[in-house]
Amino acid sequence: MRALPRVFRGGGEGKRARRSLACAGLVVACASACTTAPDALPAPDRIGAAAAFARARVAWTDGSQAQAVAWYARAVSLDPDSAALRAELGHALLVTGDLAHARDELALARRLDVAGRAGAVDLAELALRERDAESATTTLLQVVGDEPGDVRALRLLHPLLLYFGRAEEGVDVYTRAAERRPELAFVHEARADFLAELGREDEALAGYRRALALEPRRAAAERKAVRLLERESERLLKKLAIPADPGVDLPAAKGAAVGSG
């Protein structure tokens, strides 16, 4: 049998050579790992994440908010690239008052979502809590631009557009919303509010009536409709009023008429 090469034999020189070969092997292994295709890396545990999410929902429904937040965090740790899970965690953190961590999770959820909608409404609400009305308005307009019937966004956006005097934009937003969600009374009332701001009172009154047809006990819409009707009545009375003859002294004429009787 032929003798092994010297480097594989015992002795100091052989040990040094073997250590060098071992190091070279580690370098090759590391290089191979770095070039491994992404889909060959360990997949997220979506089944485990779904189970944790389900337990979070149960805890939240039961009123155990702290426990629910912990389960949401567990779900995110098992599937960290899920925009939906991060948005749920961010919402829970927002509701429980942990605004700093809520902002981080919601911002990341929105970046992970291809459409950029995940967590957007919660980010707008967070901006409102921090008195950043302009940022909240911008975000909400983006949301309803993508989904005109987003109920929560529409409820938050209505007072903001009124506050900033953006009535024409409000008419456009809530007209699209009414087309998408014609069954929602508050959408018709909000649209009517913007129409009234623009002086389009007949259209506004029709909107309030539509809201009341859907929700007869909607007190705010009823008050606004009555106010418009009162204004319309005042205008009609002014048009129907007969101007007095400037050549007649009305008190004197009245007295003469009484005396003649």
Helix (H, G, I), strand (E, B) or coil at 10: coil
pLDDT computed for residue 16 by the predictor: 43
- E strands within the chain? none
Span 7-32, pLDDT tens digits: 334 444 444 444 443 333 333 333 33
Confidence of residue 86 (pLDDT cuts 50, 70, 90): very high
Distance CA 74, CA 34 (A): 28
- With the CA atoms of 27, 29, 34 and 40 taken in that order, what torsion angle do they form, in degrees rounded to the nearest 10? 180
Residues 135 and 112: beta-carbon distance below 8 Å: no
> CA angle, 167 as apex, 162 and 173 as ends, to 5°?
95
Distance CA 205, CA 191 (A): 10
List the structure tokens of 157: 């956006």
pLDDT computed for residue 108 by the predictor: 93
Task: State phi, psi for 5 to the nearest 5 degrees.
Answer: -55, 155
Task: State phi, psi for 229 to the nearest 5 degrees.
Answer: -65, -40
Quote the crossing angle between the two packed helices 167-180 and 151-163, to the nearest 10°.
160
Distance CA 136, CA 126 (A): 8
pLDDT computed for residue 238 by the predictor: 79
Distance CA 171, CA 238 (A): 30
Span 211-234, pLDDT tens digits: 999 999 999 999 999 999 988 888
The domain ranges of the chain are: 44-130, 132-240
Distance CA 215, CA 46 (A): 43
pLDDT above 80: residue 4: no
* The CATH fold of domain 132-240: 1.25.40
- pTM value? 0.69
DSSP conformation class of 239: H
Domain 44-130 in CATH 3.40.50.2000? The answer is no
Which helix (H) or strand (E) covers residue 71, if one does? helix 65-78
- With the CA atoms of 164, 217, 180 and 154 taken in that order, what torsion angle do they form, in degrees rounded to the nearest 10? 30
Q: How many CB atoms lie within 10 A of CB 197?
A: 17
Q: Among 10-14, 80-84, 192-196, whose mean pLDDT is lowest? A: 10-14
pLDDT computed for residue 20 by the predictor: 40
Tokens 């101007």 belong to: 243
- Write down the mean pLDDT value for the chain: 81
Confidence of residue 57 (pLDDT cuts 50, 70, 90): very high
Asked, colleague to colleague, whether 44-130 and 132-240 share their fold, the answer is yes
